[in-house]
Amino acid sequence: MKKKCTTCGEVKSLTNFYKKSDTKDKLRAECITCWAKATKKNNTKRFQTEIGFLKMRYSGIEDRGRTNPTVGKYQCYFTFKEFCEAFRKHKEKYGMKSAWGPNHLPMTMIYLGRNGNKGYGKRVSNLSCDRLDSAKPYTIQNLIFIRSDENDRKKNTSYEDCFAQIKLHEERFINMGSI
């Protein structure tokens, strides 16, 4: 069986249409290609605004908690409204700069599309919402707004890891000890 796309007008196989339960034939009116183009265009426009970019980041936090429900450290314990308020306070204190010091590098909010889309990639200066202590869940107290490149460097470093690194640094460079 075949179906005509309402956007491009091409007649295509039914496998070229996403399912949609509330239609007569249980398929979307536009083909996957046209639907993807429209979605990409709408997302790009929406995610280029501050509130749109923050919604995208907040959804990522919520999704991580939903897809890993047995791993408590990924649970999100704040609403989108609380998340926006935390970002407003961050901007009052740091402006559009990272909370990670000592240099507090500038952050951007530029939507580049989803990873895997041709021509799109990760912008290292983009805002990244992370946990200050990776062993604890997403709470307002544990939330930190930093750059993507800083988040990549930080990864899953815990407070204990940082403390151990500082202790070694002091032993070797301040107390001038050796191995």
The model's pLDDT over 54-87, given as tens digits with 9 standing for 90+, comes to 998 999 999 888 887 777 788 999 999 999 999 9
pLDDT value at position 139?
Answer: 95
CATH architecture, range 48-179:
2-Layer Sandwich (3.30)
The model's pLDDT over 97-154, given as tens digits with 9 standing for 90+, comes to 999 877 899 999 887 765 544 444 568 899 999 998 888 899 999 999 999 999 888 8
Statement: residue 49 has pLDDT above 90: no
Q: Which residues have C-beta within 8 Å of that of residue 138, sequence separation ≥ 6? A: 61, 65, 74, 75, 76, 77, 78, 131
The residue type found at 35 is: W
Report yes or no on whether pTM surpasses 0.75.
no
pLDDT value at position 121?
Answer: 55
Out of 21-25, 122-126, 175-179, least confident range = 175-179
- Give the start-to-end residue ranges of the domains of the chain: 1-46, 48-179
Domains 1-46 and 48-179 share a fold: no
Structure token pair of residue 78: 């704040």
pLDDT value at position 179?
Answer: 67
For 1-46, CATH number?
3.30.60
For the chain, the straight-line distance linking the first and the last C-alpha, in angstroms and rounded, comes to: 73
